[in-house]
Amino acid sequence: MRLPSPILVTGAAGFIGANLLGRLLRGPRNNIHIFVKKDTAMWRIKHLRSKIKIHLVDIADAASVLLAIKKVKPRTIFHLATYGGYSHQRDEKAVISANIIGTHNLMRACATEGFAAFVNTGSSSEYGLCSKPMRESDALKPNTLYGTTKVWATLFGQFLARTRKLPIVTMRPFSVYGPYEPLGRLMPNLIVAAYQGKNPHLSSPTSVRDYIYIEDLVDAYLAVANKPAAGEIFNVGTGKQRTLREVFTTMKKILHSPMEPIWDESVGRSFETKSWRADISKMKQYYRWSPHHDLESGLRSMTSWFANNKHLYQISK
């Protein structure tokens, strides 16, 4: 797929961004730029650096953002830079700086130049606790600061799409897993525990999430960028929720591991719920998109990748 170029990716050194960047570079030759902060860890994209143009830009600095956008003049923008989505990211000022101020600066700067597509990254955390599959039309009741800032970014994107006729679209990924996922997250923790012969500490076996494999998410991003539905929001999940016990059992089978879970030893987050599932009918309707991986095939792909890339995590078996 050839997207309007130049292409700009923020958050390209992160988990989702690195996978998207890798896919973009596998396709037709694209003119790709990324914005990263000076202290950004680049280990996920170290092997791609010679193929992209790197700009040291803090998106919270409006002047720097505007200057860089005027220089790059991106036609397709993937905005993935964020802070606060992981439990250890607790600096409130940093959450607001990245998700509100940074998004405002980037959207405003891009609006001055015009563009073909701006794909903003929201979050399922925008919904808050729900007792049924989450739909894009649902009232938003976020119960975290992170979710609240993501709501603001989504609404600001819609505001610009409506008032300036700009092709801004927001994606709401659910629980994404796959290659380059950071240690400390569920799937890498289970893999590492199996490799090291340890029993993982897990929260409630009945805790549920809608787990979406990263390659399926990237497919969705590219489909939307190719034909942006201005002002729209799209859930990206599988439409099925899985319990933590199901995830553990599947991973144990794939890895042929004797590990056993130690339940309730780790502290669950305050918003654990019995229902956390995406309604993906809108994404199917607009783009005929559906995930290609179920939980087992996604975990098999991830564990295969991990086996060949342990050096990136400095883990020995």
Does position 152 have pLDDT exceeding 80, yes or no?
Answer: yes
Residue spans of beta strands (DSSP E) within 57-180: 76-79, 117-121, 168-173, 175-177
Q: Which residues pair with 35 in a beta bridge?
A: 10, 55
Closest to 29 in 3D by CA, of 5, 56, 61: 5
Percent of the chain with pLDDT strictly greater than 90 = 91
How do residues 91-104 score in pLDDT, each as one tens digit?
Answer: 999 999 999 999 99
Q: How far apart are CA 83 and CA 86, in angstroms?
A: 8
| 31-9-237 Cα angle (round to 5) | 125
How do residues 67-85 score in pLDDT, each as one tens digit?
Answer: 999 999 999 999 999 999 9
From the number of C-beta atoms within 10 Å of its C-beta (0-12, 13-18, 19+), residue 273 rates as middle
| Residues in contact with 299: Cβ distance below 8 Å, sequence separation at least 6, in sequence order | 177, 187, 247, 250, 251, 254
- What single DSSP character describes residue 278? B
Q: How far apart are CA 72 and CA 7, in angstroms?
A: 9
| 88-92-98 Cα angle (round to 5) | 90
Q: What is the mean pLDDT of residues 280-290?
A: 99
Closest to 103 in 3D by CA, of 71, 77, 142: 77
Domain range annotation of the chain: 7-176+213-236, 178-210+240-276+294-313
Confidence of residue 29 (pLDDT cuts 50, 70, 90): confident
How do residues 36-64 score in pLDDT, each as one tens digit?
Answer: 999 999 999 999 999 999 999 999 999 99
What CATH number is given for 7-176+213-236 in this structure? Answer: 3.40.50.720
Q: Are the C-beta atoms of 141 and 128 separated by less than 8 Å? A: yes
Percent of the chain with pLDDT strictly greater than 70 = 97
Q: What is the mean pLDDT of residues 166-184?
A: 98
pLDDT of residue 27: 77
- What single DSSP character describes residue 5? S
CATH of 178-210+240-276+294-313, one of 3.40.50.300, 3.90.25.10, 3.30.930.10, 3.20.20.70: 3.90.25.10
Query: What pTM was computed for the model?
Result: 0.96
Token pair for 303: 């564990």
